[in-house]
Copies of this chain bind each other. A is one copy, B any other.
Amino acid sequence: MLSPAYLAATLLLALRPPLLALAARPIVAGKPAPTEAAATARWLAAQNTWGVLSTISSDLSGAPFGNVVSYSDGVPGECHGIPYFYLTTLDPTARDALEDERASFTLSEFPLGTCGKIDPENPTCAKLTLTGKLKLIDPQSSEADSAKAALFTKHPEMKGWPKSHHFQIFKLEIKNIFLIDWFGGPKPISPTEYLEYGKNQALLKSS
């Protein structure tokens, strides 16, 4: 979280290379501009395939517990921003959610390869944390059908995961959004702005 003053400083410093600490941001085709916060958040959700889902651990006396999970927010070209997960209660994350719904889901731009040589913690390498409630989806609902299509399209391997492990579909009901994609601190985005983004535009294209 670096200030506009830091940006100005790095631009000035750029006049005298070589410069180890310079953090100039490459232009990335497809990545929304830093002024487009909701678009950037939705781009991160559409482009990534995995992230870290954090819950309140029942095994570890309420400690925060982050777990690597795959997810999908829609079939490519029809992403809606809501992350769906395919979890089993053999794993602590699903068990935690069934006891305490509070959760956050964290994504980084870094694994997409578009941050170039910028450090993963540099604020111009975007990072998104969606906080809310991790909800089990009724397997008989139409929402479960579309979530399954979204998940299995992005993660075809899931189709073959063993039935005996009782994988279930969960979603994050988003209550708060934390996005850093430039200098100057987190961008204020409401869940409504995030979820409504693109509804009146061409559908988001995901990879």
Contact = CB atoms under 8 A, between A and B. Distances in A.
A174 to B, nearest CB: 12
Tallying the copies of this chain within the complex gives 2
A40 interface: no
Interface of A: 1-3, 5-6, 9-10, 20-23, 49-57, 60, 62-70, 86, 88, 90-92, 102-108, 110-111, 118-122, 127, 129, 131, 155-162, 164-165, 176, 178, 185
A69 to B, nearest CB: 6
B67 A127 contact: yes
A160 B22 contact: yes
B155 A119 contact: yes
A88 B54 contact: no
Contact of A52 (B2, B23, B66): B66
